[in-house]
Amino acid sequence: MAERVTALMDKPERIRNIGIVAHIDHGKTTLSDNLLAGAGMISMELAGKQLFMDFDPLEQARGITIDSANVSMVHEFKGEEYLINMIDTPGHVDFGGDVTRAMRAVDGAVVVVDAVEGAMPQTETVLRQALKENVHPVLFVNKVDRLLNELKVDKQEMQLRLGKLIDNINKLIRGMNEEKYKAGWRVDASEGSVAFGSALYNWAISVPQMKSTGIGFGEVYDYCQAGDMKTLAERCPLYVAVNDMVIRFLPSPLKAQKERVGVIWHGDKKSKLYQSMESCDPSGPVAFMVTDISVDPHAGEVATGRIFSGTLERGMELSISGVAKPNRVQQTGIFMGADRIEVEHIPAGNIAAVTGLRDAFVGSTVSSDRDATPFEDIKHVSEPVVTVAVEAKNTRDLPKLVEVLRQVAKEDPTLNININEETGEHLMAGMGELHLEIVAYRIQRDKGVEITTSPPIVVYRESITGKTSGAVEGKSPNHHNRFYIEIEPLELDVVDAIKSGEVSMKMEELERRNILISKGMDKEEARNISGIFESNVFINMTKGVQYLRETMELMLEGFVEATKNGPICREPVQGVKAKLMDIKLHEDAIHRGPAQVIPAVRQAVQAGILMATPTLLEPFQNVFIQVPQEQMGGAMSEIQGRRGMILSMETEGDMIIIKAKAPVSELFGFAGAIRGATEGRSLWSTEFAGFEPIPPAAMVETVRQIRGRKGLKTEMPKPSDYLKA
């Protein structure tokens, strides 16, 4: 197989880079098995049961995909061979970061949907991620046999249900990106961009295939009724329908990069690098985007990613964005599930695995051009909401634990590691309980460090609802410099634009200003933004101040320190606008160094936040519950007893679909409780829903608890605590 793959690597028009995405348990890995069996990499008898892409023992034990897995295979279509680089992604909401990163490496996505459950919340999320990265979707409706065997529908009802499901997916695509929808990105069964089948029983049909095999919905219905899945799988093998659809409808790198590069790279469009990426030129400068880092016990760190331009070869010296020293490539290869196969060189348009890039992290841009503009940062849909404290069981493992935590944070960017040198506390924040549980298990299993973790704690954010009456004065310790700063809430639309990556300091000033004004920011303020950190902005409203430019870096540093650990209880600050109104600086550079400027700005910002009606924000999750009507009461009271709000209820057959939202702090142990309340008859899932202010009644108690846990004074701090006389 490796030889056939290498033979096709240089022909970008015959390459397809695809991701398999779906809600949890809709059959992505089972589908991948069929495609691998079709390529002759695993046996047909085992396809659908072997789950080849879930090669980690933990994934097999839990029956879910945790990591994205890559594989390259060859498929024949109309007498020509095509190379398909496939990434099988996880469906569980806690591992959504893997999906976002995989979307950067691929050009097309096979969206898998369960015929009975239809489009679920996570289906929406993965579709949105694909469209945001300009990745073209096609649809595979899985588990069609369930419609017949479990719901006992007749031929007509079956077609109606499938039609409704396709309309639903198109409605989602249209709602997320009208322009792409009109440009032909909708899925259409009659054209062939939808396939129907059962990955477990290895069969699938699509309209073009019905014409060639003569097997339509009627025949499928009869085979399923007779329980003869084997003949059906022989006559309409799944891999043929899906791979044909992939090759016909999903773009090759040549076509895709023309559309995608402008979205994910904001450098000079006249540069050689841009033109080389757009034309997918193997002889151009190297541009490699790292989307995944894993550790091989023998070869060290392996960086996997997409080559947009140039050719990767062993021994090349490449620069990594943000790192001064170049790194030397030791090996280049491709992934075949769990195995990495070495290849001499890998040209543009392929997905490659490279060792030797020690300084690379997920999201790095690796290039042969030292001054290359990096790719747009990968923006994750949800933020870390749950934290655990990690301790080494044996004191001798302490130095190793710090090393291991840094390594884990490098491999998984959705993990937030905070190592406090002063208190010796190590905090690990992740997407949910399962995410942290699995990381903790792997630290012990793969890195050999025995650890204990605390019960999960929720991550809060600090913010404000009012503004300061006039400027707050921050004095430097030597009293020679004074900073006058006003604090007010940042417009909500601006906060959203910063979080989604629509606005950043990397953009051209004019473009950034226009977006900010359209989001409701004052024109003068939008023009004078000096720094953006997380979702807070620092604005310089002064005029004609001497020595301002050389002090600005230090002021921004003070601002970052103040918003990283907010004044209320040292949690991150969000949605704050700090305006520098006036400034008095000492003319001698010695008297306005870092030790003077940083603390003065930090104290002014922290005191200002406390004067502007401070509040705590807590993370919320949307909760979706499907439950039979007679069990509805149990599910409702379970949500309402956890400070939850019911947002909507719909009836579908004898099932009720409840959409609600509840604070993350109340959702610990929800899985067991909802099973008990509904006699185990409910299906549920959650997704991140942002941060909302905590009820004023609970604020004082929550602040006291957090400050107590962090070893701070338990009373609510006052502005005077920060303004030193």
Binding site as annotated, residues for GTP:
22-29, 88-92, 142-145
Cα angle for residues 98, 104, 106 (degrees, 5° grid): 100
Using alpha carbons, select from 509, 577, 583 the residue that is nearest to residue 544: 583
Residue 233 Cα distances to 88, 153, 181, 228, 239, angstroms? 22, 21, 33, 9, 10
Evaluate whether 174 touches 186 at the Cβ level (below 8 Å): yes
Q: Rounded distance, CA 451 to CA 125, Å?
A: 34
Distance of alpha carbon 302 from alpha carbon 82, whole angstroms: 26
What count of other Cβ atoms lies within 10 Å of the Cβ of residue 609? 27
Parallel/antiparallel/unpaired status of strands 69-77 and 194-198: unpaired
The torsion angle over the Cα atoms of residues 412, 98, 447 and 394, rounded to 10 degrees, is: 60
The CA-based dihedral angle spanning residues 9, 10, 15, 17, taken in that order and rounded to the nearest 10 degrees: 60
Tell me the backbone φ, ψ of residue 125, rounded to 5 degrees: -60, -45
Round to whole Å and give the CA distance between 255 and 278: 9
Q: CA–CA distance from 555 to each of 179, 347, 576, 585, 598 (Å)?
A: 42, 45, 16, 12, 6
CB-CB contact of 67 with 295 (8 Å): no
Strand order through the sheet with 472-475: 472-475, 482-489, 576-584, 536-540, 529-533
Exposed e or buried b for every residue in 245-279, given b needs 16+ CB within 10 A? Answer: bbbbbbbbbbebbeebbeebbbbeeeeebbebbbb
Q: Which residue has the tokens 């039609």?
A: 163
CA distances from 447 to 295, 300, 340 (A): 10, 13, 21
Residue type, 112: V
Cα separation, 140 vs 110, whole angstroms = 7
Q: Please tell me the distance from the alpha carbon of residue 611 to that of residue 444, in angstroms, as a whole number.
A: 46
H/E stretch holding 706 = helix 696-709
Q: Are 59 and 72 in contact (CB under 8 A)?
A: no
Residue type, 7: A
Among the listed residues 530, 52, 579, the one whose alpha carbon sits nearest the alpha carbon of residue 335? 52
∠ CA 393-397-399, rounded to 5°: 135
Angstrom CA distances, 643 to 386, 422, 624, 669, 698, stand at: 18, 36, 15, 14, 12
Residues in the annotated binding site: 22-29, 88-92, 142-145
- The C-alpha atoms of residue 264 and residue 297 are separated, in whole angstroms, by 33
Burial class (CB in 10 A: 0-12, 13-18, 19+), 142: buried
| Nearest Cα to Cα of residue 332 among 311, 357, 353, 347 | 353
Burial 191-227 (b: 16+ CB within 10 A, else e): ebbbbbbbbbbbbbbbbbbbeeeebebebbbebbeee
Question: Residue 330, Cβ neighbours under 10 Å: how many?
Answer: 14
Q: Nearest CA to 611 among 644, 584, 578?
A: 578
